């Protein structure tokens, strides 16, 4: 078994393509991609936020104060074209054609409407798909400020002093006392997404060498030579399995180390104290626990991909089989993101989902070590069962010589 393992490992180390996907990709490429996406996203959001939007107001005479607030706002500039708009439909058409970014229709004077005990209904016309809601939020903020001013004036005219207005408008104030610390709050929000990076990489670390050790051997015609050696089928499968498992674990190790390094680097440079304090509380033991969870998952994936590779006739056919498996791995991860999905005695028995939930709990700092042990044991049991099936699969001539 170990002779087969040594032989396959040497061949794996000579394959630069596999080494790139197992080592270089998790350590460098993914952090660079994530950083680049984050940078481009922040730049796009900043550009959208700083954009000056062209506006047109119908019936500006109904509220000169509001019209002046919009005019002097740094995010808006008045339409300077010759065309005139007097209906909602005209404003819609102007927005669609690009003549203006937003149209404002003031149906009535809010001061007069308030005296009559009515609300003034204003309409904002814009393309919400392109504005990322910046336009509406800013105009609504200006309208709310003006509305508060009118309300204050109306209450004063009714004999309610300014110092009593807040108590009348909001007699009861409810405040939230959160028992969760900053790490738990942030971990709940981002902890569930970490498995999206870790678990698929573990599968990828097993897939590439497994395809070569199974379907690749068939395609090159070297599988028959191995079968003629004085090695049992079980030893042959175990040797190949150990090679695939080592590759998967190497990918997992590099991924966890990379995540630890990049988190420490981010903590050193990020200026947000909340995020900094939350991530600085993640210890080395937490990363060890995450790695411990990935070991049985790596064994499960190694057994699966090796069985698939042995069944496939060619390298290309094996790659086609791996695609549905990759998609299937994401399904239990998505399940872990569902509302009210928490780690308990039941969810600890769901493969992959249990690991995703446990990683989130580790990031939050609220992990239950009893459930963690249950996950490792059940995952290891499933991996052993799949490995036994893989050995039996390899023993069938109809599978080896399809």
For residue 89, name the pLDDT band (cuts at 50, 70, 90). very high
The pLDDT value recorded for residue 105 is: 93
- The yes-or-no verdict on residue 221 having pLDDT over 80 is no
What is the rounded distance in angstroms from the CA atom of residue 344 to the CA atom of residue 354? Answer: 9
Domain segments of the chain: what residues?
2-31+182-400, 52-169
Q: Which CATH number among 1.10.3470, 3.30.470, 3.40.190, 1.10.357 corresponds to the domain 52-169?
A: 3.40.190
pTM of the predicted protein model: 0.63
Residue with tokens 């239950």: 368
- Tell me the per-residue pLDDT of 365-402, one tens digit each, with 9 for 90 and over: 888 889 999 999 999 999 999 888 888 888 787 776 76
Burial (CB count <10 Å: 0-12, 13-18, 19+), residue 218: buried
The pLDDT value recorded for residue 265 is: 65
For residue 132, name the pLDDT band (cuts at 50, 70, 90). low
Choose the weakest-confidence range: 308-317, 345-354, 377-386. 308-317
With b for 16 or more beta-carbon neighbours within 10 A and e for fewer, the 85-111 pattern comes to beeeebbeebbeeebbbbbbbbebebe
- The yes-or-no verdict on residue 41 having pLDDT over 90 is no
pLDDT greater at residue 275 or residue 52: 52
Residue 36 CB neighbour total at 10 angstroms: 10
For residue 334, name the pLDDT band (cuts at 50, 70, 90). confident
The pLDDT value recorded for residue 163 is: 81
For 99, phi then psi, to 5°, come to -65, -40
Q: Chain-wide mean pLDDT for the chain?
A: 80
CA of 202: how far to CAs of 259, 281, 391, in Å?
14, 26, 22
- The yes-or-no verdict on residue 208 having pLDDT over 70 is yes
For residue 262, name the pLDDT band (cuts at 50, 70, 90). low
């Amino acid at each position: 078994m170990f002779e087969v393992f040594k032989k396959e490992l040497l061949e794996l180390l000579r394959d630069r393509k596999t080494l790139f996907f197992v080592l270089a990709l998790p350590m460098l490429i993914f952090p660079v991609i994530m950083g680049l996406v984050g940078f481009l996203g922040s730049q796009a959001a900043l550009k959208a936020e700083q954009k000056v939007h062209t506006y047109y107001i119908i019936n500006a005479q109904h509220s000169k104060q509001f019209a002046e607030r919009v005019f002097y706002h740094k995010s808006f500039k008045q339409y300077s074209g010759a065309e005139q708009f007097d209906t909602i439909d005209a404003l819609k058409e102007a927005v669609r054609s690009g003549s203006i970014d937003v149209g404002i229709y003031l149906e009535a004077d809010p001061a007069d409407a308030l005296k009559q005990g009515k609300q003034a209904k204003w309409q904002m016309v814009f393309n919400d798909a392109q504005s990322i809601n910046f336009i509406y939020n800013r105009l609504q903020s200006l309208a709310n400020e003006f509305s508060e001013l009118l309300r204050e004036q109306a209450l004063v005219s009714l004999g309610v002093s300014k110092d009593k207005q807040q108590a009348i408008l909001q007699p009861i104030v409810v405040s939230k006392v959160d028992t969760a610390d900053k790490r738990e709050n942030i971990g709940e929000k981002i902890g569930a997404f970490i498995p999206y990076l870790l678990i698929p990489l573990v599968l990828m670390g097993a897939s590439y060498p497994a395809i070569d050790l199974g379907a690749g051997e068939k395609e090159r015609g070297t599988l028959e030579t191995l079968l003629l050696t004085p090695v049992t089928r079980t030893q042959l499968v175990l040797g190949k399995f150990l090679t695939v498992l080592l590759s998967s674990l190497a990918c997992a190790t590099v991924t966890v180390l990379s995540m630890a390094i990049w988190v420490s680097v981010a903590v050193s440079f990020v200026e947000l104290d909340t995020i900094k304090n939350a991530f600085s509380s993640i210890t080395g033991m937490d990363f060890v626990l995450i790695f411990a969870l990935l070991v049985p998952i790596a064994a499960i994936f190694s057994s699966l991909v090796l069985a698939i590779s042995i069944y496939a006739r060619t390298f290309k056919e094996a790659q086609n089989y791996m695609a549905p498996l990759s998609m299937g791995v994401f399904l239990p991860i998505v399940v872990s993101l569902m509302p009210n999905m928490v780690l308990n005695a039941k969810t600890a028995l769901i493969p992959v989902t249990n690991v995703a939930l446990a990683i989130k709990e580790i990031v939050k700092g609220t992990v239950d070590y009893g459930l963690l042990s249950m996950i490792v044991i059940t995952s290891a049991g499933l991996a052993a069962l799949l490995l036994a099936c893989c050995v039996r699969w390899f023993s069938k001539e109809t599978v080896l010589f399809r």
